[in-house]
Homo-oligomer: A and B are copies of this chain.
């Protein structure tokens, strides 16, 4: 996004919404590489120059749309224990981000060279979720978790595998990460399915 909007409501907001919707619709219909600004503008019912002026270029529009799409709609599931919450969250994260769609979104978010806001937003979503799990655990009287450590041990490897050796991380791989996290946090036992090495 070129700049934070000055005028929040009204036509501006409607157009932003329309352009986002058009972008997402097109991403579902044609290949990621076939899309261009005039196409999106046309679908959204605006002129291309509007898009160029507000977003700068295709990369920034895609990054903005992707970050928007990655915004969580709800708090992570509450399974009753931190170990369970963490497992559920990480498994879902790996699945969502590892899917072809998720991988493309991640790439779009990272491709924005102009103002790395989109990447920071996504990072913040993850941090926020982990903080929620931590707060919940403390409220239950459980030992807490270090968000930074969770990112280092659980999230970062998943992202690395997705981005560099692309392909969805296997459930076994994710289980291995969870086991390692448990080994480093004896207060947080390994939750249910420890059927891996």
Say how far A62's CB is from chain B's closest CB, in angstroms.
10
Q: Among B120, B152, B164, which residue has its beta carbon within 8 angstroms of that of A123?
A: B164
Point out the residues of chain B lying under 8 angstroms from A155, CB to CB: 160
Interface of A is mostly: helix
> Within 8 Å of chain B (Cβ to Cβ): is A32?
yes
A122 and B164 contacting across the interface, CB-CB below 8 Å: yes
User: Quick check: is A165 within 8 A (CB to CB) of the other chain?
Assistant: yes
Q: Once the chains are docked, how many angstroms separate the CA of A123 from the CA of B114? A: 25
Given A33-B113, A110-B110, 18 other A-B residues pairs in contact with their CB atoms under 8 A: A110-B111, A110-B164, A111-B111, A116-B166, A119-B165, A120-B164, A122-B164, A123-B164, A151-B157, A151-B160, A152-B153, A152-B157, A152-B180, A156-B156, A156-B157, A159-B164, A163-B163, A184-B184
Residues of A within 8 A of B (CB): 32-33, 104, 107, 110-111, 113-114, 116, 119-120, 122-123, 151-153, 155-157, 159-161, 163-166, 177, 180, 183-184
